[in-house]
Amino acid sequence: MKRNQVFIGILVLVLMIVFAISLNSRDGKLTLSLITGLMLGYILTRSRYGFAGGVRKIYFTGDGSLTKALLLMFALSLIATAGIHYGAAQKGAVVAYKAAEGETIIPGSGHIQSASLSTIIGGIIFGIGMIFGGGCASGTLTDSGEGEARAWIVVLFFCIGGILGTVRGPWWAESVFSRIGTTVYLPDVFGYIGSVIISLLLLCLLYVFTRRYEDRRKREGTYVEEIYEEWQRPLPAPKEFKLFSKETYHRLFIERWSFTTGAILITLVFIFIINTTGSSWGASGPYTLWGVWLFEKFGIDFSSNPALAGSLETVNNGLMNHPVSIRNIGMIFGATIALLLAGRFKFNFNFKGKDVLFYALGGIFMGYGAKVARGCNVGALYSGICNFSLSGWYFLVAMTIGGIIGSKIYEKAFPEDARSTAKEA
């Protein structure tokens, strides 16, 4: 443990508090976005939790512990959102896509999207990209904060992919791939209780499949159980409890949290976001905005493209006034703070030229796929399923297929790295 990093971590935390206060002078919602971002980044890093690992880890090692934790998170979240949706509906609120001007919208229902071929195609593209890039939309943010230079490359090309996807957005919207589909809010079909029961049954089926797949890998001798690094493990309990001791500090700031702990804490933040903003958690949108802002600095003019008009308006209004961008920035610094307080932060430039190609493709695929599917692993998948949109289940299947395809390609391209890669959440 590098003790000087602890002081740097405290300094970064203090700077984030100052930043939050400055944001609050403009808009309290920006402060809330920063706080939730810091919390999400800290939790994801402290528990090594992530969406991409739910496919990658089990594919390469057979260990489904992260996959099962994700299923638990979905279950807890959708039960909670069912109460939020039902309570709002009883007061006359309606889902976003059906709302007329002036009507109250059910919190989180803005993530109810059309379940179409575009959802499937975009999900597959995104799934391939998250394997190539070594993380998903949220995981790339936390990896960036952890000092992974790989993730910085992915961020840049994620921005490029988002711009390309936005430019081609009108074509996709008018294509047969988007026309063959339907927008379904499950409670309209099954009621709230029925929607919860059906969703939980589907999650249970996925849990059973995961357990059986783990058992098969164990029988085949290809199961590799994840082992925590030495510094992440609990210290031996002291003979006498002392509040101010290395054991207490280790327990509070260094010892790794389990995937289950990560699932529960992410659920709490997810529900907090819905209750405080009226919207659900999304992560991919700001990448396009950041790309537009960056390339404008290099003299590229996007004003002639009507598809980017909305992005340009947001960028011109100031990225520091965009709540989701602030939340994503918070996630980056939340991850940084987590490793600094643990005394384990380091910059990692350990990759080769061949790796850069895959990282670039991964970023482009994720950025473009998220635009085609109208969301990423967070917005289209997590917020989709937990806000009872049929499209969320479409995206889950598609992203998993894409993840398997990407894993097979990666396995052939980097056979020596395939197993070690799965240890990254």
Q: Where along the chain do its domains lie?
A: 3-100+111-222+257-420
Whole-number Å distance between alpha carbons of 401 and 393:
12
- Whole-angstrom distance, CA of residue 54 vs CA of residue 209: 13
Cα 177 to Cα 118: distance, rounded to the nearest angstrom: 5
Tokens representing residue 120 in the block? 């499937």
pLDDT values of the chain reduced to their tens digit, one per residue, 425 residues: 788 999 999 999 999 999 999 999 999 999 999 999 999 999 999 999 999 999 999 999 999 999 999 999 999 999 999 999 999 999 999 999 999 989 999 999 999 999 999 999 999 999 999 999 999 999 999 999 999 999 999 999 999 999 999 999 999 999 999 999 999 999 999 999 999 999 999 999 999 999 999 999 999 999 999 889 999 999 988 888 888 889 999 999 999 999 999 999 999 999 999 999 999 999 999 999 999 999 999 999 999 999 999 999 999 999 999 999 999 999 999 999 999 999 999 999 998 888 999 999 999 999 999 999 999 999 999 999 999 999 999 999 999 999 999 999 999 888 766 545 544 44
Determine the 3-state secondary structure of 105 from DSSP: strand
C-alpha to C-alpha distance for 154 and 132, rounded to whole angstroms: 9
Which residues are CB-contacts of 336 (< 8 A; sequence separation ≥ 6)? 9, 12, 41, 145, 146, 147, 345
Reduced to 3 states (helix: H, G, I; strand: E, B; else coil), residue 307 is: helix
Contact 141, 328 (CB under 8 A): yes
CB atoms under 10 Å from CB of 101, counted, come to: 4
Name every residue whose Cβ is closer than 8 Å to that of residue 331 and which is 6 or more positions away in sequence: 37, 38, 40, 41, 44, 138, 141, 142, 145, 283
